Amino acid sequence: MTEDRKSWHDLKCDPAPFQAMFWGMKTADLRNLSDRDIAVGDTVAFHEHDRSGVIQKYTGRILLTVITHIQTQYILPENCAMLSFRIIEKHLTRKTYEDSYRHVAETGLWAQMHKTV
């Protein structure tokens, strides 16, 4: 399992787009990929992150997704990509990175997610 850990990514997401993703209205996310190597089939955990107050904080809500398509070039700036994804799980309570990763490993979701891409 450790060799697959490289294909797990944690990304912050503001509340408005997170809410649209949570309800299935938004199924892609535009990202600057200059500092990460995301590929089709990778698992991305979107963590809702509230920057509206004086203190920025994670809300505890997490969407576990699998990347289904990556669009680059065309009219997109260099290093930017549109990541299309499918939601695997929704967590409404606070989960740490290790809790989410352990849950995926223990329930066999890792293999299931990567078979259906």
Domain boundaries, the chain: 2-105
8 A C-beta contact, residue 74 and residue 63: no
Residues 38-66 have a mean pLDDT of: 87
Query: Among 3.30.565.10, 1.10.579.10, 3.10.310.40, 2.30.130.30, what is the CATH number of 2-105?
Result: 2.30.130.30
8 A C-beta contact, residue 86 and residue 65: yes
- Give the model's pLDDT for residue 104: 66
The reported pTM is: 0.75
C-alpha–C-alpha distance, residues 6 and 61, integer Å: 22
Lowest-pLDDT choice from 2-6, 62-66, 103-107, 112-116: 2-6
- Give the model's pLDDT for residue 87: 94
